[in-house]
Amino acid sequence: MDASMPHRLELIGITKQFPGVLANDNISFSVRPGEIHALLGENGAGKSTLVKMIYGIMQPDAGEIRWNGERVTIANPKAARALGIGMVFQHFSLFEALTVLENIALGMDAKIPARELEGRIREVMTRYGLLLDPHRTVATLSVGERQRIEIVRALLLDPKLLIMDEPTSVLTPQEVEQLFDVLRKLAAQGCSILYISHKLHEIKALCDTATILRGGKLVDTCDPRQETSRSMAEKMIGGGLKDLVKARDRVFGEPRLHVNGLSMPAPDHFGTALKNVCFTVRAGEIFGIAGVAGNGQNELLLAMDGELPTDPSAIKLGDLPAGAMSPSARRRHGLSSVPEERNGHGAVGVFSLSDNSVLTARERPGMVNMGFINFGAAKTYTRKVIADFSVKALGAGSTAGSLSGGNLQKYIMGREILQRPSVLVVSQPTWGVDAGAAAAIHQAILDLAEAGSAIVVISQDLDELLSLSDTLAVINGGQLSPKMQVGDASIEEIGLLMGGVHGNTEAPDAIPA
Amino acid sequence: MDLTLAIIVTVVGASTPILIAALGELVVERSGVLNLGVEGMMLIGAIAGFVVQFHTGNPYLALLCGAAAGMASSLIFGFLTLSLSANQTATGLALTIFGTGFSALAGSSYSARPVSLMEPLFPAELAAHPVWKVLFSYSFPVYFSFIMVVVIWYFLHKTRAGLILRAVGENDQSAHSIGYSVIGVRYMAVMFGGAMAGLAGACFPLLLTPQWAERMTAGRGWIAVALVVFASWKPFRLLAGAYLFGLVMTMELYAKAGGGVLSIIPSELWAALPYIATIVVLVLISLRRDASTNAPACLGKPFLPSN
């Protein structure tokens, strides 16, 4: 990395205005050849807007982009790719029913005969240890394998700058290590990498430089290896980070939720069968379930909240067999649940918050009288949720769909928690939620446990589970590992359990030693 | 022997329009669009084909005009569902109602006026022997339908354009983000489907009954739509399915004519059989979980680009 070489990419005073928001305000930074540069910030800090301009999806209102020292205008993604800019998106633009090869062919600008393309794909795959069968249908691949397709697609164009948008949010720790190996290899060959993330320890482990954005402004450009995770987090959220208040050595009460030998066939073609799942959660205990998406988490949640009935004795609330109960019957007996999908499953987007409260909270806080809705009570309850959980909403009458993801999640969590459930089941409590809202949701879960509820948290975010839960198990291919104390669990072991069937089995030689 | 051969020839005649229309609908559905207006487009193609045949006596021109009329009517559907994002199911039903009414109106002065049937493609000497008759006694649309099965299969699975069409039907947002024109691809598919339906409709006065009769397609368009699902969106299965339905329909004719064993079952029941079979098949398919996974994932959903 010679300092006299021109910068691979240089942004000077980039500004982008959206109606009502200044998404990027006079942003300037540069990336050297072979540098791994982190772009750090909360949701809404302007990271996506910035990279969209670098990749030609949007145009800046002011400022200039320099590529290898020369001023350029990147009119569209095709122009970006022609310059040598590749991008791996957070949400893969893949076609499930098509094969790996067909997917890659669709994303190529040049028409290359299928056989020649396959040869080049195999060459890139072996060079970077990204092993995949080009003739597999995408629907049969794990998320990590799908990401490899996107990376191979970008690498086929021999990029000089690779933009990675939150690439690790869905990977196991081992898959993350594999990915980092690939990225380091690329960087060593002179390819620059712009790495977008909000996971600080990853940035410390991987990146040479970090540019931190907050509210559309550049806050700092620093060397992440010189910073602590905490100092970077504070720059990111612009204030002191609140610590989670978690009492040490808590004593748990009597068992509240028993899941005993729960087996269930897959509900549909893409689902996962549950195999003899057993666990018990006691009053005051937070039980975390880790795992890569699609390993039976959804099915387990649906079985617990009553959307998929099971054998009556497979699920017990206290001593009460609840496996065959309907979701509302379970709610009456004190079980609340928050599904992963906020809009459409957790809440009805076109309904007001007040109406959404009636949907799940009608029984316990008494919003329904002889079949008639007591709208006053529903409004009062909703206002309490909005106030207690600092939901940013115009009022109980605003529609659920008008709230941002984080605010809707705070509302849904609040709606369930204020019912004082004896058992709460939550899936992905902070998925796509900014750090401030996430901290508030975590604290609310801890407080509920403190008050004596038994809580199950299903999450793909291992850091979240390690900081939140008391006990932990890993789900893989519909099987749940034995329960372990969080204090005793090693990340390595958890990672291996998570990877059990998916991902690594086909490319064992790609696992770093 | 002769009866068997005669039955085969009749089955081919009955199956051909269904196969052609269903092939068109298969391509439409693979692009993610559900056009339930096949029956209406067939009727519009039928009246257009009839009128041209009546005035010019040129069956090829009649087929071409039938196809053009079908394509024109599909553009109404395309404009409403693709450019204006209207509901595809409702628009397709409306197209069928429109086609039924329009063809009846346009054909009102042509009732009970005969036209000549289309001549076989090959010289009569070639089809003299009963066995050769099975192969060479048909007119152009029959051979066309077989060729199109292969052409469409090859197009969908071996060409880049076919891959793009499948991609659009599978994940319109991704196809859009890569840079393909979702609406453009779907317009092409809808127009192709319309042309095939119109051509299939024109086969009725040219191949089957040489006159105009209101609703002369008699629900074959609906069978074509059901066949696409029955064949799980695969051209060769579609061929098999179309002939299965053609066979059942032919049985009805023989039952009506008092054809021995067949008349044990009343002809009304034979007539109902294809439709009953369609329902049974659709129920069976919805029970078989894996079959539905072959359905284009975006089928029937309007495309609204997210950014």
- Confidence grade of residue A12 (pLDDT, cut at 50, 70, 90): very high
Please tell me whether residues A455 and A412 are part of one structural domain. no
Residue A339 in domain? no
Residue B307 in domain? no
User: What is this structure's pTM?
Assistant: 0.73
Please tell me whether residues A118 and A82 are part of one structural domain. yes
Which of A358, A391, A420 terminates a domain? The answer is A420
Percent of chain A with pLDDT over 90: 43
Distance separating alpha carbons of residues B154 and A358, to the nearest angstrom: 55
Contact flag A95-B178 (C-beta cutoff 8 Å): no
Residue A4 in domain? no
Helices (H), B159-299: 160-170, 172-178, 182-203, 220-230, 235-256, 267-287, 289-292
Please tell me whether residues A178 and A262 are part of one structural domain. no
Range of the domain at B18: 2-287
Distance separating alpha carbons of residues B40 and B100, to the nearest angstrom: 6
Residue A18 in domain? yes
Which residues of chain B carry a pLDDT beneath 70?
1, 258-263, 282, 285-286, 288-293, 306-307
Closest CB to A96 among B163, B170, B290: B170
Residue A248 in domain? no
Please tell me whether residues A310 and A449 are part of one structural domain. yes
Residue A87 in domain? yes
Distance separating alpha carbons of residues A460 and A301, to the nearest angstrom: 14
Sign of the dihedral through C-alpha A398, A404, A410, A413: positive
Residue B189 in domain? yes
Q: Provide the domain count of chain A.
A: 3
Which of A355, A390, A420 terminates a domain? The answer is A420
Residue A302 predicted with pLDDT over 50: yes
Q: Give pLDDT tens digits for A42-76.
A: 767 888 889 999 999 889 999 999 999 999 999 98
Distance separating alpha carbons of residues A94 and B167, to the nearest angstrom: 9
Contact flag B166-A78 (C-beta cutoff 8 Å): no
**A400: which 2 tokens?**
């659920």
Distance separating alpha carbons of residues A130 and A137, to the nearest angstrom: 17
- The closest of A385, A364, A360 to A441, measured between CA atoms, is A385
Please tell me whether residues A355 and A325 are part of one structural domain. no
Distance separating alpha carbons of residues A495 and A484, to the nearest angstrom: 14
Q: pLDDT averaged over chain A?
A: 86
What residues in A contact B178, CB-CB < 8 Å?
93, 106-107
Q: What pLDDT does A513 receive?
A: 32
Please tell me whether residues A399 and A363 are part of one structural domain. yes
Please tell me whether residues A90 and A213 are part of one structural domain. yes
The minimum CA-CA distance between B45 and chain A, rounded to whole Å, is 34
Distance separating alpha carbons of residues A326 and A332, to the nearest angstrom: 10
| Contact call for residues B245 and B223 (beta carbons, < 8 A) | yes
Range of the domain at A381: 345-420
Q: Give pLDDT tens digits for A324-334.
A: 999 999 998 99
To 5 degrees, how large is the angle CA B68–CA B219–CA B91? Answer: 60
- Confidence grade of residue A270 (pLDDT, cut at 50, 70, 90): low
Name the residue with higher pLDDT: B32 or A198: B32
Please tell me whether residues A264 and A303 are part of one structural domain. yes
* Helix, strand, coil percentages for chain B (3-state, nearest 5): 75, 0, 25
| Contact call for residues A377 and A365 (beta carbons, < 8 A) | yes
Q: The CATH number of the domain where B218 resides is what?
A: 1.10.3470
Residue B294 in domain? no
Contact flag B171-A78 (C-beta cutoff 8 Å): no
Q: Give pLDDT tens digits for B165-182.
A: 999 999 998 888 788 899
Please tell me whether residues A56 and A71 are part of one structural domain. yes
What ipTM was estimated for this complex? 0.78
Which of A420, A444, A470 terminates a domain? The answer is A420
Distance separating alpha carbons of residues A506 and A504, to the nearest angstrom: 5
Please tell me whether residues A156 and A186 are part of one structural domain. yes
* Helix, strand, coil percentages for chain A (3-state, nearest 5): 35, 25, 40
Please tell me whether residues A401 and A443 are part of one structural domain. no
Residue A510 in domain? no
The minimum CA-CA distance between A252 and chain B, rounded to whole Å, is 44
- The closest of B209, B203, B166 to B295, measured between CA atoms, is B166
What residues in B contact A268, CB-CB < 8 Å?
289
R_g (Cα) of chain A, nearest Å: 24
Asked if the C-beta of A93 comes within 8 angstroms of chain B's C-beta atoms, the answer is yes
Distance separating alpha carbons of residues A388 and A390, to the nearest angstrom: 6
To 5 degrees, how large is the angle CA B247–CA B291–CA B226? Answer: 40
Please tell me whether residues A106 and A191 are part of one structural domain. yes
- The closest of A40, A415, A450, A87 to A210, measured between CA atoms, is A40
Residue A242 in domain? no
For the residues A484-511, what does the mean pLDDT come to? Answer: 63
Cα first-last separation, chain A? 27
Q: How is B110-164 classified by DSSP, letter by letter?
A: GTT---PPPPPSS-GGGG-SHHHHHHH---HHHHHHHHHHHHHHHHHHHSHHHHH
The minimum CA-CA distance between B171 and chain A, rounded to whole Å, is 6
Residue A412 in domain? yes
Q: Provide the domain count of chain B.
A: 1
